[in-house]
Chains A and B, each alone.
Chain A
Amino acid sequence: MDRREFLGSTAALAGSLAMARPVLAQSAELSFFYPVAVGGPITKLIDSYAAGFEKENPTIKVKPIYAGTYQETIVKALTAHKSGTPPVLSVLLSTDMFTLIDEEAIVPFDPFIKTEDDKKWLSSFFPGFMENSQTGGKTWGIPFQRSTVVLYWNKELFKEAGLDPEKPPTTWAQQLEFAQKLTKRDAAGNTSQWGIQIPSSGFPYWLFQGLTTQAGAILANPAGDKTDYANPGVVEALQYWVDLAQKHKVHPPGIVEWGTTPRDFFEKKVAMMWTTTGNLTNVRANAKFPFGVAVLPAGKKPGSPTGGGNFYLSKKASPAEQEAAFKFVRWITTPERAAQWSADTGYVAVTPAAYETEAMKKYVADFPQALVARDQLPTAVAELSTHENQRVTKALNDGLQAALTGTKQPGPAMADAQAEAERILKSYR
């Protein structure tokens, strides 16, 4: 190609671009970051939803970008925000709300709620999920891949241990009693099968919050500027967890990996496990024995934290992009789609209406375990979330791990964690 030809073709290209402009003006590109936190073909599912949306909305191009774990996704989203070109939409932990607000990285959804229909949509979500999505009278996140902690149990091992395979433990005392019956030791004192397992790597605070809620303690206030780690209920909850491993020896000692816990369950190395309902589809596909799913056993009362991810709208996106993103969020949270997503993954469908759809009814008739997480929602509490969330949560995580590995007693461990959280949060009051 000589120079004249090159210039000519460039001009032609520019011309055609100019002609195409009226069409382009209405279209928007919608980039969005999402993490994968549970087993299963999540990326394939998201891609198929994006394609489905594009088909119905040809002017909007959806570009889903898999960004790693929740931790890695928020790092990428915030780095992109600071460099000026963030994704229009991201799925991040519901607990990251305060961090995102403090960084001025997101806008609330309220300005997009214009019609009666929009208002109805916003009030259609389970109230339990909105606790981590709203603050100061504004809605900052829209629930998407939300979960609670549930108890999975192996019915086969229950039968072997002489327990009723259809009856999970309902109280702390019963949970311990069952776990003792389900723990198998050989002559040398080595354990070949543990009664119960509550993972403690990465984000032990989340599963621990199940125990604290059951002990009647609330870890942080709704404004996110005060924690209550040293509450006697919190210490009692930690003592119970530590005792399962160190005193009663029915729980593996030390730190238990979050990622390998479902595998321990499949390998029958553990009879009962606490993990997210988001693992439901994974467990259903891989457990080669009948298993049950139950609400967590009650201490003073029943309870579990909610968890999982919300949609957030980038502040630096253009109004047209934000509008497109809003459209997509509304599309993917319709009852039919929410039901589909729940059946595909095991996450809780985010609206009660989703459970009224034909598809969902058919799914739960065949697989009633899928209803457990929803049934637990009335006793569920907001997941621990504060300003400087990662740092305040790390203080608790470190304390928990110190107690579980036996370097600190539960009382002092929680006092240290509270002191650290206090230091960090003081300036936010």
Chain B
Amino acid sequence: MKRVLLLVTLLAGMTASAQDVVTQVRARLADVPLLRGDFEQKKTVSGFKKPLVSRGVFLLAREQGVLWDTKTPFASTLTLTRKSLSAQQASGAAAYHLDASKEPGLAAVNEVMFALLSGDVAALSKRFRVQGALEGAEGWKLTLTPTDAGLVRVFRVIHLEGDKYVRQVRLEEARGDVSVILFDKLAQAPSPSETEAQRLAK
């Protein structure tokens, strides 16, 4: 009986401290309606010996969506809005489009991507169990374990690191592939250009 009580107290204590971390991390993060910068993604995929490295620029407009433009090793654009996901190769060789209104599974993944890039911890804690720690004066680290049955199928665990902004995302997929994305040259301006706005409106 005593042991059970101890366990309950411990668990209660842990949730309390996890809540604290979430609140503290949120306090450290800048509230950004718009964020742009460079990214470098290293993706380890089964069947490939070396990580697949790609670089490019991204734009996050919190109300509209995400533009993910790869520059190397080949040019392609990915547009992620609440309504759809569409991708295009600059050479015009390939393109595809998915409608999120027909597939809420896709909508959920879109929501997670928004939340990851913008560090929206409140949105993430709806679908993930959030644990973490503060680092130094400005830094923090979070570990996200999916609780939603649909997301368990996609992600095993996600690690987030950052300060005022999210600096690194490590996605460990359920099937073993791992992507590490590093962000650089983060800025809250300039606002979307005309072409960017058009893509986001799709």
Question: Do A and B actually bind?
Answer: no
- Interface on A for B, CB 8 Å cutoff? none
